[in-house]
Structure 1
C-alpha cells in the first residue's frame, strides 16, 4: 500500500496511481472497503450534480440566448463556463461503474480528461472577475474594449489551455502534475481576492456619501464576491489539505479525505449556475398562457 500512495503523482480519487489501480485486479471500492462511506458520499454528490447541474446549466444557456439583446459583457465567459459544467456533469454513470465494478485502465483516461476540464473552470471564473474589475476600476478602457472581440480571443485561449491541461492529466505521464492544479487554484484565489478588495474600495468611494453606491459597482462586487466564495468553499479545500497529507495514512487519505474534498469541489458545477439563476429574472412560463382580456397581450399573473 505504501508503493500505491507514494507512486501517485496526482490525487487518487480524481486520478489514481498508474501502478495499483489502473488495469489491476481490484476496484476502487474494494481497495476502500474498510471505509466505503466517503466513497458513496462522493458518488452521491456526483449524481446530485448530474441531476441538478445539467438542467441548471441548460437553463443558464437558455437565458443567455434569450437575453442576447440585453447581455452583459461577462456573458460570453458565463456561457462557456456553463458548457464546461454540462460536459463535466455527464460523467457520474461512467464514474460509478469504474469505481465499483471496472478494473480496466481505459476508463481512467476518459475520466481523467473530464477531471482536467473541471479543474480548469477557475480560469473562466477569473475571466469574469477581470471583466467586472475593468468595468469598475477602468471604465474608460472598458468602454473602448466593449466590442467583445478580445473576449472571444480570451475564451479561445482558455479553452486551449483547458484542453491541453485535460489531455496532460489524462495521459498521466508528467511527474508532480498535481502542482499545476494547486498553482491554478491559488492563483485564481489571489486574483479574485485582489478584485474583491479593489472593487470594494471603489464601491465605498462612489458618490459623495458612503450610502450612495453606484449600482453597477454593487453588482460587480456581488458577482466577484460570489465567485470568490465558490473558490473558497469548493476549490480551496483540496489545496488547503495538501500540506497535511503526510499526517494521514494512504488509506485514510485516498479513501476518506480525497472523496469528500473533491466531491464538494465537483459540486460547484451545480452551485455556479444556481447562483447565476438566483440573480436573474426567470420569465414566468405561465405568461404565455394568460392573455390580457382587453388587449390580447401577455400579462404577468402575479
Structure 2
C-alpha cells in the first residue's frame, strides 16, 4: 500500500489507542480458519466440551478409552472449535455523505473508520470485506485476511465519486447476496433514507443471524445546526435550494432531527442491532477506543 493511501485512510493514532483491545463477536461465529472466536459447531480442537456416542467412521484416535474401560461404552471426545469471523463493512457512498470539508467530510471520515477498524480486525487474524452503495451496490471487495485486503479496499475507495441518492432497500438486498454465513455487518452511513426500508433490510440480515452494527456518521453542523446570519442551503441529493435565517429554524430543525434519531435508535433496539452515533468533529481514535471498550464490557457481561 502506498504511503499516500495510508495517510488518507489509516488513522495511526487510532490504531495505537486500540492496539491492546479485541473485537469479539456477540454470539457464536462460523468460519473456515482456525482463529480466536468460538464456533457453534462442535469439532476436534482445543476446548473439551463433552462426549457423544461413537459411530462407524469416527477416527479411533478421538475415542475416550478411559470411559470404555470403566463403563464398557465407546464414546468420542468433543471439543469446541475456535474459528475466524468475517466483518463486512458497508459504506454509504451517496451524495449526502459529501457534506463537510477535509477529514470531517462524512464520506472521508466513514472510510477512515472502516479501513482503520478493518486493519485492527485483520491483525486478529479475521477477515474483512467492503461494500459501497448509494441507490444500488456500487462495489464489493470480497472477504480476505491478508494485508493486501487493505490495498484492495483503498483502491476501490479511490474510484468513488459520491453523487447519487440513497436507496437502502435495493442496495442492501444486493449487498446481502454476498453474505452466506453468520457474520458481522457494520454499516457506516448518515442514514438519510427511508427508515422503513432500512428496518426491512436489517431484519433480513438479523433473520440470517448476522450481527449488525450501525455507525450513524454525521457532521457536527447536522447535530448542532449552529449556522448564523443568512444562509443558502443547497440540496446534495435533491435539486432544492433554500435561502433562510437558521436562527429562525434551529428549534424546529433540532426537534425534527431528534425525532429522526430516536426512530433510528428504536429500530436498532427492536431488532437487536448495535447503534453508535458518530460526530465527525471527534477524532477517530476517541470514537473507536470508546466503542471497543464499551463493546468489550458488554461482551464480558454475557
Structure 1 and Structure 2 fold alike (TM over 0.5): no
Range class of TM-score, shorter chain: under 0.3
Higher helix share: 1
Q: State the structure with more CA Rg.
A: 2
Larger fraction in strand: 2
Whose RCO is larger (CA < 8 A, sep 6+)? 1
Report the TM-score, using the length of structure 1 for normalisation.
0.26
